[in-house]
Amino acid sequence: MNRLKGIVLSMGLLFLSGCAGTMGVKMKQDVSANVTEKVESKYTGPKRRVGVIDFENKTAYGQTRLGQAASDILITELVKTGKFIVVEREKVNKLLEEQKLGLTGAIDPNTAAQMGKVLGLNAIVTGAISNFGVRTTGSDYLITQTKRQEATCTIDVRVVDAETGQILFADSGKGVSKVGSGSFLGLGTRGGYAESIEGDALRAAVSQMTINITSQINKKPWSCRVADVDGSTVYLDAGMDSGLEVGQKLAAYKLGREIKSPQTGLVIGRTEEKLGELVIDSFFGENGSKAIVKTGRSPGPGDLCRMAQ
C-alpha cells in the first residue's frame, strides 16, 4: 500500500512539474490578433476631433455589451496615441438620437456633415462585431483535470469623413484569447468561466487596427469650426488642448454644395469659398481659442478653418 501511495505521489509531482505553466486561474494565456497591412501617414499637426459610435454586435453573443466594450477599447486606444480629442459618448449618442438614428445606425453623408458641424468632428468611427465565439475544451480523468477556453472575434471598422460622409478607411481585425487551467487530486483549480477572455479578444482585435485608423485620420488635413463671432473676434472650437499656438495662422472657408462622383453617386467633397485668414490671439474655456481676422472677410458660425498654407 505504501508503495502504491509512493507511485501515485511521484506521478503527481511529475504532473505538477510538467503542468506548472497551466495550473491556476489563468496560468497560461495567449492573445493574438490578425489585421490587414499596416498603413502609415507622416502628416502631423494639431489633434483631430473624433467621435466613436457604439459598435453594432451582429452576433448572438453578448447583446449590446460587446459593442459598447469594443467602442470603449477603441476610445482608450485613440486617446493613448495623444493625437486625438475624442468627444464624449453621451454627446455623440444624444446627437444620434436627435437625428432619429439608432445608437449604431448607419452614418449617411447628411448625418455625418451634421455631426461634424455640431460637434466639431473631423472624423467619425463606426464598427461592428461580425463574429464572436467562446469554446471550452478539456479532460476530466480520475486524478487530473484540465480546461482550456478560447475566445475569438472579428471586428469591422469604418472611418467616415465628418465633412462629406465619405468612407475614408475600412479595416477588419481578428483577435484570439486563450486561457488554460488544470488540477491534480484536487490541487490547483478546475477553472471557472474566465470572463476576461472576452475583453482580451476584443482588445487584441481593436488595438491592432488603431495604428491604421490613426494614420488614415491623420492623412486628412486638420480643421476646426467657427463657434461664434463678436465684432472682429472669431471664437473657434479648438484651442490649447488641440495643440494650437498663439500667433498661428488659419484660413477660413465657407462650405457649399456637395460634389458627387458621376460613377458612384457618392459624395467626394464640397465646394469651398475662401473667406480670409485668421491669427490665433488667445485661448478661452475648456478648449477654445480667439482669433482676429487679418485678411479677407470674417467667417460666420459653422464655417471651417484649416491651417494656412
Q: Residue 143: pLDDT band by 50, 70, 90 thresholds? A: low
Considering only residues 192 and 279, tell me which one the structure prediction assigns the higher pLDDT.
Answer: 279
Task: Say whether both 26 and 139 belong to one domain.
Answer: yes
- Residue 4 resides in a domain: no
Task: Summarize pLDDT for 241-257 with one digit per residue, the tens.
Answer: 999 999 999 999 998 88
The pLDDT value given to residue 300:
95
- Residue 176 resides in a domain: yes
Task: Say whether both 156 and 294 belong to one domain.
Answer: no
The pLDDT value given to residue 25:
32
Q: Residue 4: pLDDT band by 50, 70, 90 thresholds? A: very low
Pull the grid cell for residue 139.
Answer: 479532460
Task: Say whether both 202 and 274 belong to one domain.
Answer: no
Q: Residue 227: pLDDT band by 50, 70, 90 thresholds? A: very high
Q: Residue 233: pLDDT band by 50, 70, 90 thresholds? A: very high
Query: Residue 139, class by beta-carbon neighbours within 10 Å (0-12 exposed, 13-18 middle, 19+ buried)?
Result: exposed
Which of 171, 190, 219 is where one domain is finished?
Answer: 219
Q: What is the mean pLDDT of residues 75-95?
A: 87
For the chain, the average pLDDT equals 78
CB 298 within 8 A of CB 231: no
Which of 219, 236, 270 is where one domain is finished?
Answer: 219
| Whole-number percent of the chain with pLDDT over 70 | 73
The pLDDT value given to residue 78:
92
Task: Say whether both 263 and 209 belong to one domain.
Answer: no
Distances (CA, A) of 197 to 28, 56, 135, 176, 233: 12, 20, 11, 9, 53
Q: Residue 224: pLDDT band by 50, 70, 90 thresholds? A: very high
Task: Summarize pLDDT for 165-209 with one digit per residue, the tens.
Answer: 788 888 888 888 887 655 444 444 444 444 578 888 888 888 878
- Residue 3 resides in a domain: no
Task: Say whether both 229 and 298 belong to one domain.
Answer: yes
The pLDDT value given to residue 12:
45
The answer to whether residue 65 scores a pLDDT higher than 50 is yes
Which of 153, 187, 219 is where one domain is finished?
Answer: 219
Hey, CA dihedral for 197, 203, 209, 211, is it positive or negative?
Answer: negative
CB 291 within 8 A of CB 307: no
- Residue 1 resides in a domain: no
| Farthest-apart Cα atoms in the chain, separation | 101
Task: Say whether both 204 and 248 belong to one domain.
Answer: no
Task: Say whether both 31 and 116 belong to one domain.
Answer: yes
What CATH number is given to the structural domain containing 264?
A: 2.40.10.410
Task: Summarize pLDDT for 96-131 with one digit per residue, the tens.
Answer: 777 665 545 556 666 777 788 788 888 999 889 999
- Residue 42 resides in a domain: yes
What range defines the domain where residue 141 resides? 22-219
Task: Say whether both 183 and 293 belong to one domain.
Answer: no
Pull the grid cell for residue 121.
Answer: 468632428
Residue 197 DSSP one-character state: H
- Residue 238 resides in a domain: yes
Q: Residue 13: pLDDT band by 50, 70, 90 thresholds? A: very low
Considering only residues 66 and 137, tell me which one the structure prediction assigns the higher pLDDT.
Answer: 66
Q: Residue 301: pLDDT band by 50, 70, 90 thresholds? A: very high
What CATH number is given to the structural domain containing 55?
A: 3.40.50.10610
- Amino acid, single-letter form, for residue 214: T
- Residue 89 resides in a domain: yes
Task: Say whether both 63 and 152 belong to one domain.
Answer: yes
Q: Residue 157: pLDDT band by 50, 70, 90 thresholds? A: very high
Considering only residues 97 and 70, tell me which one the structure prediction assigns the higher pLDDT.
Answer: 70
Cα–Cα–Cα angle for 198, 200, 206, nearest 5°? 105
Task: Say whether both 209 and 95 belong to one domain.
Answer: yes
245 vs 251: CA distance, rounded Å: 15
233 vs 124: CA distance, rounded Å: 29
User: Whose CA is closest to 77, among 150, 160, 157?
Assistant: 157
- Residue 14 resides in a domain: no
The pLDDT value given to residue 247:
95
Task: Say whether both 197 and 279 belong to one domain.
Answer: no
Considering only residues 98 and 94, tell me which one the structure prediction assigns the higher pLDDT.
Answer: 94
What's the domain count of the chain?
Answer: 2
Backbone angles phi, psi at 276, to 5 degrees: 170, -170
Task: Say whether both 193 and 243 belong to one domain.
Answer: no
The pLDDT value given to residue 309:
78
